[in-house]
Amino acid sequence: MPAKDIYHYHVRKALERENWNITHDPLIIPAGKRKLYIDLGAELIAAERADEKIAVEIKSFAGLSDMSEFHDALGQFIVYKIALAEKEPERQLFLAIPQDVYEDFFDDPFIRKVISMNEVKLIIFDHQKEEIKAWIQ
């Protein structure tokens, strides 16, 4: 099983504070002869939206190269999105990133274009406060 991201528990706590029930840690999705390990699977605890399900891949962007980290995260997101569409189409996939990374790296017009063209949904979180700052769909 892959190692957890350094912000794994911060994001988990932030989701729980917004009434998400963590159902999988990790969410294991079969993909051909392989198994994919998405960091978290969750369902919303709210009567009016009780059927909402998400999968969350958490990335810290703590490596030496933001662009290299972005390549890895985008590729992983695309593969997970395809597997989820096949196995759990009701579940929406999100990429969770720290607020400072969003403000510094994702502020670039080219990065925003790549995100948009690949329909990457984002969760922006504050790891110190363990709270979600924005959902970007």
Domain chopping of the chain, boundaries:
8-136
| Sequential DSSP letters for 53-118 | EEEEEE----SS-HHHHHHHHHHHHHHHHHHHHHH-TTEEEEEEEEHHHHHHTTTSHHHHHHHHHT
8-136 domain in CATH 3.30.70.100? no
pLDDT for position 63: 87
* Residue pLDDT, tens place only, 81-124: 999 999 999 999 999 999 999 999 999 999 999 999 999 999 99
* CB neighbour list of residue 4: distance below 8 Å, 6 or more residues apart: 39, 58
Is residue 49 pLDDT above 70, yes or no? no
